[in-house]
Structure formats: structure tokens, C-alpha cells
Amino acid sequence: MSDEKRAMVEFQETLEAAQQRAMASCREWPRMGFEEFLELIQVPENIHSQGPGVKRYMSRQPAWMAGNELPWDELFRNLKGPRPRHSGLGVFGGCVYAQAPLAAARAIEEEERRQTAATGLVRPVPGIHSIQGIFTVPGLGDRPFIFDVTNIISGRSFFGRQVNVRQPKQPSSDPAGPFPDSDAELPLGDICFSCITTFKRPAEGVDDVQSPISAQKRYADVLSQRAPDEWEPAPQSDIDIITSLFKDFKGHGGFPLLDMHKVDMSEYNSDKEVPDRIQLMLYRPMKPIPNDDANGHIVCHAFEADRNGLIMLGNHMGYGFNMGKAASLSYSFYVHTNPDEAVMDGDGWWIQEINWPRVSANRCMMESKIWSPKGKHVASAYQDGMLVPAKEPMEVKDSEL
């Protein structure tokens, strides 16, 4: 037995009472839908001085933080000494990864409306084609994100925008949100995230080719075992030590936008090496998203694809009770279809098919395919990040509780 698992066994009996106490303290957390959680306000040009052509937007709600809603204080109320660290310093990176391209989309949509008003010509709205982002500084939840959108290219059918994201150097006067407009006038810190988002107008393609075996067909034996919403909700923070500590807690917490369920792939993966293992996530909007906002739907797919991916790989690598650093460095998301095919209308469940083909030099690679309920391969995501075990395994002794 590994040292990490032995440590868990050593305090198992004492932990049980603490877990029961913590579970009794659990409460329901409010969950925000798309229009509330990803709301952006445009900052008037006379307030910022980024130069002509730069459009600035500000988020209104605090970003979600993985594991922050679990009853940690109650679980460790009688623990002496340091508490296990349940998350990194920053908020969930998917929040800024979704809002940055959404700010770029809102800038282009505004330009399209102005052009239509001036010319009377109505053209199909450009949809997000790709998002290529890098994370530089952990985001903080007590202040808004500020998005500066700059034009790279505006062609007849192809567009590119760069978005640099920063946060105020000081917390908001209302850190629980919604953030007041005045936060946009505070001095800003360094760039915490930057991305290039490209857009394409819809087009009639000559061919439409994909793998003839969709995720629904490839994993039919597993998926047929339960209805989609009967699989466990995606853990708030999918690290072995946390899911062991809160083994009876099954819920979304305050996770916004989407209902996400994790398919149990343990039997499927049992005889496979790490690069050949697969994880399936099932998801759909928790509240309807307007069907005419295809770019809003696309950023929700990107938001979902970023969740828990690298730390799930840590579990496969044996770092689940000994996790050191796990963080996204770069993340690329590509839409392969016209934007309307990414719209999540109806009650159908979408599938994220995840695998981790490479780990080296304290880094790791994650690939995802996004499948529609009808089995169409709509998008792909590629993520490179840090994945490092801790120098010393986590230990909690009986005498410390």
C-alpha cells in the first residue's frame, strides 16, 4: 500500500465522525445560469485610455472556485496542525476562458449591428472558430475581470481579436458581487490571461466527414448502464484526497451554467495504460441559453471542457493523495462546424470525451472531443499544463483529530 493511501487508512475511523458532522452542515448553494454568471458590461471609452479601437468589458459576478463550497471548516473543526490544501490560489480558469472570447464576440456583434444600420445589409453573424489562450497569473474571486478587446483582422468572412485580461489591484467594494461599475476605474494589475479568438461566418461546406463511430456508439456499453443524470455529478474538485474526504457529498455545489455528470469509466480503463484511458463527461445547460446566441453556447462548451481535466490526470498518475501543482498553461479550443450546430437546445446531453496522451517534464497534455447529442463531433480542445506531485505525501494522524 502506498504511503498516501496508508495515511488515509490511519485516520479512517476518526474521520468518519467528522465526515458525518460535515455532511450534516451541507446546504444548497445558489447556481447561476448563463445570462447572470457570464454577464459583461461595456466600459465607456472615456473611462479607459487604451487607445482608439480598443473595446473594454467588465465581468459582473465573482468567478467560481473549485471545492470552495465544501464544508471544510466543519470537517476539520477539531484538527490540530495544518489543514489539507483543497485548491490552488486562483479561481476556476474556465471562467475567464469563457468570458474573454465572449467579450470578443460581443465586440464583433456590436460592429455587425452598426454596419447593418449603416448599409442595410444583413449578413450571418460570425461565430467563434477558435480560442487560443494562455494563463499567466491566478485569477482572484473578490474582484472583476477587465477585458480589453483589440482588432487583429476583419475580413469578409474571417475575423480575429486579441483579448488581454487584467484585474483591479484591490478588491471590489462589493466582493460578493454583482461588481459595481466603478470597479472598472480602479488601477489594474498585470495580465492574468490572454487569448486570440477567431471567428468565421457560416458557410455551406462541400464535404462533412468525421469518424463513423461517435462517442455514443463507441462507449454504448458503458453509457447504457444508467440514464445521464443518474451518473454522479462532477466532483467540485476531482482530486482523490478530496473525493475521499467528502465521499458522501454528491452535488454540483454552486457550479454555474451547466449540469455536469461524470461517467464511471473505472472498469473500461482498468486494463489500459494512462495514455489510452478515457473519461466521459455528460453535460447540458442548467437553464436555457438563448438559441440566437450561438457564441454564448460555444463559450459554455469551452467552459465545460476546462473543468477538472488536469487534476483527473493526477489521479491516474498516482498523485491523487499527493498533488503538488496542477495548472493550465495554454488551452486551445476549436469549433469544427457552423456555429448553430453548437447550440444546446432541448434536453439532450452532450459528451466530452477526454484522454491524456502525454506526460513529460512536469507537464501534461489533455485532448477533448465535444459530441452533440446526435453524435456529431462539434469541437475539440487541447490543453497543456503543469502536473507535479507534492514533495511529501499528505498525512493526517488519528491523534490530530
pLDDT digit string (tens) for 62-71?
Answer: 999 988 888 8
C-alpha cell at 48: 479607459
Range name among 17-26, 138-147, 270-279 with the lowest pLDDT average = 17-26
CA distances from 297 to 85, 216, 288, 380 (A): 33, 21, 10, 15
C-alpha cell at 87: 485548491
What per-residue confidence (pLDDT) applies to 6?
A: 47
Is residue 399 situated within a structural domain? no
C-alpha cell at 202: 457560416
Number of domains into which the chain is organized? 1
Is residue 267 situated within a structural domain? yes
What per-residue confidence (pLDDT) applies to 391?
A: 75
Q: Dump pLDDT digits (tens) for 11-29.
A: 454 777 777 777 777 777 8
What per-residue confidence (pLDDT) applies to 71?
A: 82
Is residue 396 situated within a structural domain? no
Q: How confident is the model at residue 301 (pLDDT cuts 50, 70, 90)?
A: very high
Q: Is the pLDDT of residue 397 over 60?
A: no
CATH number, residue 353 = 2.40.160.210
What per-residue confidence (pLDDT) applies to 327?
A: 86
What per-residue confidence (pLDDT) applies to 393?
A: 53
What global pTM score does this model have?
0.91
173 within 8 A of 183, measured Cβ to Cβ? yes
Is residue 1 situated within a structural domain? no
Q: Dump pLDDT digits (tens) for 303-359.
A: 999 999 889 999 999 998 888 888 889 999 999 999 999 999 989 999 999 999 999
Average pLDDT, the chain: 89
Q: Is the pLDDT of residue 150 over 60?
A: yes
Residue 153 pairs in a beta bridge with: 160
Backbone angles phi, psi at 366, to 5 degrees: -125, 135
Over residues 253-280, mean pLDDT = 96
Range name among 122-131, 193-202, 384-393 with the lowest pLDDT average = 384-393
What per-residue confidence (pLDDT) applies to 69?
A: 84
d(CA 329, CA 203): 33
What per-residue confidence (pLDDT) applies to 88?
A: 58
d(CA 160, CA 241): 42
Is residue 304 situated within a structural domain? yes
Q: Is the pLDDT of residue 106 over 60?
A: yes
Amino acid at 98: A
Is residue 129 situated within a structural domain? yes
366 within 8 A of 387, measured Cβ to Cβ? no
Q: Higher-confidence residue: 45 or 177?
A: 177
Is residue 394 situated within a structural domain? no
Q: Which domain holds residue 361?
A: 10-203+212-389
Sign of torsion over alpha carbons 110, 112, 113, 114: positive
Is residue 233 situated within a structural domain? yes
What per-residue confidence (pLDDT) applies to 169?
A: 97
